[in-house]
């Protein structure tokens, strides 16, 4: 394989990060120069010894010191602290940065990577949710590509290839999560263990909970707005229980082009890393006979009203999407700790959005302040 590529991975020990490294294993032409984690130094050490990056970064500074000792027999440099994410994101030898950290922590490193001319393989939807107006402008100014890694946005991106971008609407699919079809009264006593059982995908805890509440789909609606330069009104969410049709585009002539595949993240990861090439892949071939029925229906936005909150945030813009995201992150944290009910997650998002006075075109500093405000508002009620 004569394919050559140089990458840095932010969040290499998470679900997307580990699957990215599976793709790297398949193609010796992909070289990893930097890896990062928040605190999982056990896995990061194994990754560092296998892939031999020049830099590894650990946000938890105490853990970074521990890793320095563990990797003392190597030439790998270990950096610590939140600022180390920027160091990994701007590493000179990397051409593309895979942003797979969870939450708003991905915003600043992504901005700095773009400023340094890196292409972005974007798996951190919060980056565009909270700072889309900044990130998309900088990407244009620096001639940087933002290549989506989320399966749905990758499907939309693939469906746009070779076609004039006269989009009538985007059809954004959702599995519906583990509680599809349930009424609100049936969700009053849901436990974290129940909410973490996603029917189709293996993801981290935060994303899995967000998928169950459909908050994740709301975040993806806002992300799609920025990625594909469409209005919120042009994005339609469809419940597709089989997770085979990953999303689609309807054009002005009502023709629909979709991307289908098994529920597997390695294909969208690989496509983001190798675009515009399509390289061979094994083990994920779609057999349509395994899926005799592909179903589609509208979401229940009364029970799962986070989607409507997200659309409101996306329409009004400013810091409202930041409030949506920050209050959700705090609420999910409390839910996982047994300090907030399942229904309380979306209720807390709604309450936080009602409290805020919106600010248009916020700076990075104002985004950080709004995020802090939203979290404190939710935590104050625990």
Ordered DSSP codes for 303-330: TSTHHHHHHHHHHH-TTHHHHHHHHHHH
Q: Where are the alpha helices (DSSP H) in the chain?
A: 15-26, 41-51, 61-70, 84-89, 107-115, 126-141, 151-160, 192-195, 205-213, 215-228, 266-274, 306-316, 320-336, 342-355, 364-379
Peptide bond into 345 cis (omega under 30): no
Residues β-bridged to residue 36: 57
CB atoms within 10 A of CB 343: 17
Per the document, the length of the chain is: 382
State pLDDT tens for residues 23-57. 999 987 899 999 999 999 999 999 999 999 999 99
| pLDDT of 198 higher than 80 | no
CB atoms within 10 A of CB 232: 17
Cβ 330 vs Cβ 316: under 8 Å: no
The pLDDT, as a whole number, for residue 21 is: 97
For helices 61-70 and 41-51, the axis angle rounded to 10 degrees is 40
State pLDDT tens for residues 115-139. 999 999 999 999 999 999 999 999 9
State pLDDT tens for residues 66-100. 999 999 999 999 999 999 999 999 999 999 999 99
- Quick one: pLDDT band at residue 201, thresholds 50, 70, 90? low
**Mean pLDDT (whole number) for 99-109:** 93
- Quick one: pLDDT band at residue 342, thresholds 50, 70, 90? very high
| pLDDT of 59 higher than 70 | yes
**Mean pLDDT (whole number) for 338-353:** 98
The pLDDT, as a whole number, for residue 28 is: 75
Nearest CA to 100 out of 214, 8, 205, 16 is that of: 16
| pLDDT of 275 higher than 90 | yes
Between the alpha carbon of residue 300 and those of residues 100, 184, 231, 237, 312, the distances in Å are 30, 10, 22, 11, 17
The pLDDT, as a whole number, for residue 197 is: 86
Beta sheet of 55-58, edge-to-edge order: 77-80, 55-58, 30-37, 5-10, 96-99, 119-122, 146-148
The pLDDT, as a whole number, for residue 4 is: 74
Please give the torsion angle defined by the CA atoms of residues 235, 270, 60 and 126, in that order, rounded to the nearest 10 degrees.
Answer: -10
Give SS3 for 283. Answer: coil
| pLDDT of 202 higher than 80 | no
Cβ 222 vs Cβ 321: under 8 Å: yes
Angstrom distance (rounded) from CA 344 to CA 7: 40
- Quick one: pLDDT band at residue 224, thresholds 50, 70, 90? very high
- Quick one: pLDDT band at residue 1, thresholds 50, 70, 90? very low
**Mean pLDDT (whole number) for 333-346:** 97
The rounded percent of the chain whose pLDDT value lies above 70 is: 98
- Quick one: pLDDT band at residue 2, thresholds 50, 70, 90? very low
CB burial class (10 A; 0-12, 13-18, 19+) of residue 240?
A: buried
**Mean pLDDT (whole number) for 346-357:** 96
| pLDDT of 373 higher than 50 | yes
**Mean pLDDT (whole number) for 298-323:** 97
């Amino acid at each position: 394989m004569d394919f050559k590529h140089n990458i840095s991975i932010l969040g290499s020990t998470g679900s997307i990060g580990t699957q990215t490294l599976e793709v790297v294993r398949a193609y010796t032409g992909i070289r990893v120069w930097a890896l990062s984690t928040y605190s999982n130094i056990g896995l990061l050490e194994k990754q560092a010894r296998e892939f031999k990056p020049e830099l590894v970064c650990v946000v938890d500074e105490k853990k970074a010191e521990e890793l320095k000792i563990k990797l003392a027999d190597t030439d790998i440099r270990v950096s610590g602290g939140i600022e180390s994410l920027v160091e990994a994101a701007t590493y000179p030898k990397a051409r593309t940065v895979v942003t797979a950290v969870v939450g708003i922590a991905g915003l600043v490193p992504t901005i700095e990577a773009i400023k340094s001319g890196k292409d972005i393989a974007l798996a951190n939807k919060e980056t565009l949710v909270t700072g889309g107006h900044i990130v998309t402008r900088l990407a244009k100014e620096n001639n940087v590509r933002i290549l989506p890694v989320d399966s749905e946005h990758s499907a939309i991106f693939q469906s746009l290839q070779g076609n004039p971008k006269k989009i009538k609407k985007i059809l954004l699919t959702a599995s519906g999560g583990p509680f599809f079809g349930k009424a609100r009264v049936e969700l009053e006593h849901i436990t974290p263990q129940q909410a973490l059982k996603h029917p189709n995908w293996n993801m981290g805890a935060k994303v899995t909970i967000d998928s169950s509440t459909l908050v994740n789909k709301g975040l993806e609606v806002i992300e799609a707005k920025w990625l594909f330069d469409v209005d919120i009104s042009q994005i339609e969410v469809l419940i597709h229980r089989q997770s085979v049709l990953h999303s689609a585009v309807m054009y002005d002539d009502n023709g629909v082009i979709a991307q289908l595949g098994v529920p597997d993240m390695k294909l969208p990861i690989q496509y983001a890393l190798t675009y515009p090439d399509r390289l061979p892949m094994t083990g994920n071939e779609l057999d349509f006979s395994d899926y005799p029925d592909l179903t589609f229906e509208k979401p229940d936005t009364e029970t799962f009203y986070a989607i409507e909150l997200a659309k409101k945030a996306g329409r009004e813009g400013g810091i409202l999407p930041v409030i949506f995201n920050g209050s959700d992150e705090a609420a999910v944290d409390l839910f996982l700790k047994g300090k907030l009910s399942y229904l309380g997650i979306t209720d807390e998002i709604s309450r936080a959005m009602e409290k805020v006075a919106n600010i248009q075109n916020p700076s990075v500093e104002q985004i950080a302040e709004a995020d802090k405000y939203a979290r404190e508002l939710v935590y104050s009620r625990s």
